[in-house]
Amino acid sequence: MSNLIYASINGKRQGLISAGCSSLDSIGNRCQAGHENQVQVLGLNHSISREQNVSHHPVHFIKPIDKSSPLLGVAITENEPIDIIFYFYRRQSRWPVRALLRS
């Protein structure tokens, strides 16, 4: 069974990049109450390998185009440090599991 995933994205210079991303104005009828300032995550991939030492590989996530898309582009081109907190929700649980990613 798949999990629902949302992300809160905060840039060092831009502040809350994900502000209003899951609102009706940003993504229309796909908006979700209670997650207005978070990005919907459609896919997430991360891997770890070990030959000699442990290697963490990049975290890849897929998200819809919303208000945060151009702001993320600016953050990437200007090499802005960002913090991303992923919220994982099980469909039959009330409480999220959180994972923090810092770049």
CATH number of the domain at 44, please.
2.30.110.20
Q: Whose structure tokens read 């997430």?
A: 44
Q: What is the DSSP annotation of 13-58?
A: TTEETTTTTTSHHHHGGG--TT-TTSEEESEEE--EEESSSEEEPP
Q: Whose structure tokens read 């993504």?
A: 27
Parent domain of 56? 4-102
Please state the rounded mean pLDDT for residues 44-68: 89
Please state the rounded mean pLDDT for residues 2-16: 90
**What are the pLDDT digits (tens) for 23-40?**
666 666 666 777 788 998
Average pLDDT value for the chain: 83
Q: What is the pTM for the complete model shown?
A: 0.77
Number of domain units in the chain: 1
